[in-house]
Structure 1
């Protein structure tokens, strides 16, 4: 584990490199060497510390200097960024913002003014690995647009046919994250990328360390399956995985000799594959059900949740039944969105609540049986707002929500939450020719909310109680006895309460009440309704709230629970 002294040295080294303009002096070269070697003492903390102090600013600057000087130290630069992006998603994001991704792609396609001295396979592989690390982390999803605009798809499709196996594999893994629906399908058919990755996965799963060696470079079962999991968002590729024996291989990863991370990836991929009716009805998927059942009681929350969701999707009725569900008119409007766009989704919720609608939106991430909770929310909805984006399309959870709403013949209203996104694949089929409304920013929400309200009409203004995390209702209370409390608030985490303090514009409560959970908010509300002991006002005053702020808090509590 890296000591405080070591982390301070990392900080000093990065600052030194940022100030330098000449990278030939011995002390500068030693600084690069230090960053390379110190990484192995505590990979995650070292990478985060270096990134925090500006490591992401250095790649283009140092690389241009090294390549212009024809310095062999360029390989050291590649190695440092290869290692650090592996453990630090924030660095990958920084490389996107600082145009280092564009620069790496220009080096690989030969359009950069600087060129490699020898274009060694190791350096090429290192650059591809930086690209892979800077897109495979969920936090780096915004980089996808950068890769595509820089021409990475066209470049890497050529490298899929490379005679160097390590370059072929790494190129495929990057492409898995950046191709669109049509490009992904072509990879599966014309370039046999899916079959190739399934074969790679089989070898990794069969090895004792769950790695497959390719010319002294190792590819783990986890990284192969994660790439494959992105390719099977495309429905045609699901069939290719199934025909290639991929389901049986993935089932093997559910066994106890695989880590929780590997098991989570396996259950998530099975969840995606289960959208295909052929896969769903196969003997292999029945084996999946047997292997998934013990994981539903795992101590690992993510594994428990994904395994339950995979089972739900496998047991869901085939798509032929999509028009047989009995149409139900519910009492709320459901907002279906991807967590990447939560801020916009909450802004949309606020506008609709001001217009008098009852809104159901998941703001705390539904726990464990998330698809059961989702199904209940859909069943009790009068309309479902589908917030379209690339992340929504790629999410199996969002697909389960949207397709279930379609099956139940709910009134679906598509909203565009990502500028320039065009629905594709399953999402395009589901939306069809429906008119969509742009809500890509808070200002755009305010501009187009009238049209969204017209599309919703009178739906979702009922007064009956609804199961699930329905957000605040706009009712008044006249008695001193508090009404029945909306159960989802009492289960709020400390983090969710902190978000609520921001939402009601009382950020000073974040520090004074930083220990508050949902149950504490519930108790505070009860005190506000019957404050004979003056406990409520005393709490407010101890937090430094002025009279107008106390009134704001009181109103916000009423809004939560009434």
Structure 2
């Protein structure tokens, strides 16, 4: 089971593999009560073996020995380490209750040593994070098994098992914190939230804070109720940021300013948390970030405030309390060109105050809307992490004579958001190039919500394999047909051809004067009506049992009669029902 695979291994990897094999054999020998009572030497040898591994992968060794870095990123060695961890927790289950306390202490120390390596390696190595994210057995077997084997409320991080749990959660958080799409995609396949959630109630704040931070990265909007009982944890994190800002070494309880600020911003991405964070008095601490002499603090402060500004409930409050400091940043040579700052200002200002907005340029917009050329224009909205794919898309669309607005061709000097507003207002279609980073981008959200506000047709293009939208983007694209450009099933070019057909159909409708409501508009109406799950189920059952009667219901109660409107509504009903 633990034999080294036939491949060329460095001496460092061979030595580590030998230690793991030795540790595994010793672990197996200690599972009987007699061995536990009499074989103190065996336990000592086991500790020596895993301690040897820990010393090999110490921070000092990694810094001074390139072979150690190669060893820790070796997939075979990692797989053997995972197998040893699984064997440790499985063996603990097999030991008689009379000997459980002794053996659990042994297992706790074995796990603590190995997981300490994982914690350090995920902190300094993106390659290791990628390797770990591919260890399905680790996240599907070991992670939930270890966490479920402990009493979350009573756990003490100073014990072997307590430290093992903390290291396990911390290593997963470190992997998420790298913000790498490959790691995110892999980790999203595992339900880490369910296993970690009980530790939000842990009396040890070291563990509960780690659990909150991990969940902030792993959770999606459908699981947002997990934060409802975590107010104390979130308040503690805000307090952590405030105290870290006032500390000489810019850290508190093991977390530095930037690390905590990024975690709070991550929490704020979830719309259900925006109001909660403001209610928990986050804004004064954000003000301290913006007043800081440290540029990183200011950048994080702007990003957090930009994220919070999507809260309609508190938008005016934010603008009132931060207008002065934002004004100072706008005239600062260092920050005046910040796209995040410009986006924040655009978001907070009233429509009549926005440069380039529909309200402030009504006559110009009206002239553009009457123009046949502008009515056929298509804007491409994307995150810059997808620029290569977007350039490929742009070339194919322009070859097909589609009039395209995209920032790398049409962005002029001046206000980024004035140019964005003009681009949207002068287009009839906005192509959304969807990836995880797009979904998490304040700039992209601002573009799409403004396009929706202007009544533009939104067409989602999927550029990241297996990625599923959630939250604000999931809602706005609820009933829209998506085009998968990831080349997992069809070629990029063939899907662009399908997109061209859809664009031509839309342009023909514009030319004929026939319009239909977009799927996102229909989804908005369903939500604004406050339809309950019972009502959604009734409509879904009616559709299945009597389509004719269903059609009469829509015409009578919703005023829908056009085929495309009916199709959009039906799709929205089906998808909303799935979300219930």
Question: How does 1:144-223 map onto structure 2 within 5 Å?
Answer: 144=184, 146-184=186-224, 186-192=225-231, 193-213=233-253, 218-223=254-259
User: Could you tell me whether the CA contact under 8 Å between 1:23 and 1:62 is conserved in 2?
Assistant: no
Query: Could you say what secondary structure the match of 1:138 adopts?
Result: coil
Cα 1:91–1:21 change in 2 (3 A) is: closer
Q: Pick the aligned partner of 2:146 from 90, 108, 113.
A: 108
- Compared with structure 1, are the counterparts of its residues 414 and 37 closer, same or farther at alpha carbon in structure 2 (3 Å cutoff)? closer
Q: Secondary structure at the match of 2:447?
A: helix
Q: Where does the alignment leave 5 or more consecutive residues of structure 1 unmatched?
A: 1-9, 462-562
Q: Partners of 1:209 and 1:148 in 2: how far apart?
A: 34
Contact 1:336–1:384 (CA under 8 A) maintained in structure 2: yes
Q: Which of 332, 335, 358 is the equivalent residue of 2:380?
A: 335
CA drift of 1:19 comes to 6.9
Structure 2 length as normaliser, TM-score?
Answer: 0.64
Contact conserved, 1:309 with 1:369, CA < 8 A, in 2?
no
Summarize the Cα distance change of 1:202–1:21 in structure 2 as closer, same or farther, 3 Å threshold.
closer
* Pair 1:307 & 2:341 matched: yes
Tell me, what secondary structure is at the counterpart of 1:405? Answer: helix
Flag the 1:231–1:368 CA change in 2: closer, same or farther, 3 A: farther
Please tell me whether the aligned partners of residues 267 and 306 of structure 1 are also in contact (alpha carbons under 8 angstroms). Answer: yes
Whose helix proportion is higher, 1 or 2?
A: 2
**The one of 428, 441, 448 aligned to 2:495:** 448
Q: Which residue of 2 aligns with 1:543?
A: none
Offset of 1:86 from its aligned partner?
1.3
Does the residue aligned with 1:160 lie in a helix, a strand or coil?
Answer: helix
- How much has 1:253 moved relative to structure 2? 1.1
Q: Is the 8 A contact 1:200 1:224 kept in 2?
A: yes
Q: Where do 1:9-48 residues align within 5 Å?
A: 13-14=12-13, 16-18=15-17, 22-24=21-23, 30=52, 32-38=54-60, 41=63
Name 2:437's counterpart in structure 1: 391
Instruction: Report the alpha carbon displacement of residue 92 of structure 1 after superposing the two structures with TM.
Output: 1.3
Distance 1:359 1:15 in 2: 57
- Give the conservation status (yes or no) of the 8 Å contact 1:23–1:29: no
Secondary structure at 2:269 match in 1: coil
Q: Give runs of aligned pairs for residues 6-155 of structure 1, distance below 5 A.
A: 13-14=12-13, 16-18=15-17, 22-24=21-23, 30=52, 32-38=54-60, 41=63, 54=75, 56-57=78-79, 59-64=81-86, 70=106, 72-99=109-136, 100-110=138-148, 120-139=161-180, 141-144=181-184, 146-155=186-195
Deviation at 1:227, TM superposition (A): 1.9
**Distance 1:104-1:356 versus aligned 2 partners, 3 A rule:** farther
Aligned length: 437
For the aligned residue pairs, the C-alpha RMSD in angstroms reads 4.1
Instruction: Classify the secondary structure of the residue corresponding to 1:208.
Output: coil
Comparing 367-376 with 267-276, greater Cα deviation is found at: 367-376
The Cα offsets for residues 18-39 of structure 1, whole Å up to 9 and x where unpaired, read as 5766244878854540321425
With normalisation by structure 1, the TM-score equals: 0.66
* Separation of aligned partners in 2, 1:148 and 1:52: 22
Native 8 Å contact 1:148 1:178 kept in 2? yes
Separation (CA, whole Å) in 1 of partners of 2:417 and 2:281: 27
Q: Which runs of 5+ in 2 are unaligned?
A: 1-8, 24-44, 92-102, 151-156, 509-580
Query: 1:428 offset after TM fit, Å?
Result: 3.5
My pick for the range that moved more, 375-384 or 61-70, is 61-70
Distance 2:216 2:298 in 1: 20
Does the CA contact (< 8 Å) of 2:51 and 2:113 recur in 1? no
